[in-house]
Chains A and B, each alone.
Chain A
Amino acid sequence: EAGVAQSPRYKIIEKRQSVAFWCNPISGHATLYWYQQILGQGPKLLIQFQNNGVVDDSQLPKDRFSAERLKGVDSTLKIQPAKLEDSAVYLCASSLGVVREMFFGPGTRLTVL
Chain B
Amino acid sequence: GENVEQHPSTLSVQEGDSAVIKCTYSDSASNYFPWYKQELGKGPQLIIDIRSNVGEKKDQRIAVTLNKTAKHFSLHITETQPEDSAVYFCAASTSGTYKYIFGTGTRLKVLA
Contact = CB atoms under 8 A, between A and B. Distances in A.
Interface of A: 4, 31, 33, 40-45, 48, 55-56, 91, 93, 95, 97, 100-107
A71 to B, nearest CB: 21
A43 B36 CA distance: 11
Contact of A42 (B34, B41, B102): B102
Contact of B44 (A31, A43, A101): A43
A48 B99 contact: yes
Chain B: interface secondary structure? strand
B98 A31 contact: yes
A104 B98 contact: no
Contacts, number: 52
Given A100-B93, A101-B49, A91 B98 contact: no
Interface residues of B, number: 23
Residue from A4, A42, A44 with most neighbouring chain B CB atoms (10 Å):
A42
Given A41-B105, A42-B89, A42-B105, A102 B100 contact: yes
Contacts of B99: 45, 48, 56
State the 4 A-B residue pairs at the shortest beta-carbon distance, nearest first. Answer: A42-B102, A104-B43, A104-B44, A106-B43
Contacts of A33: 100
B69 interface: no
A31 B102 CA distance: 18
Nearest to A92: B43
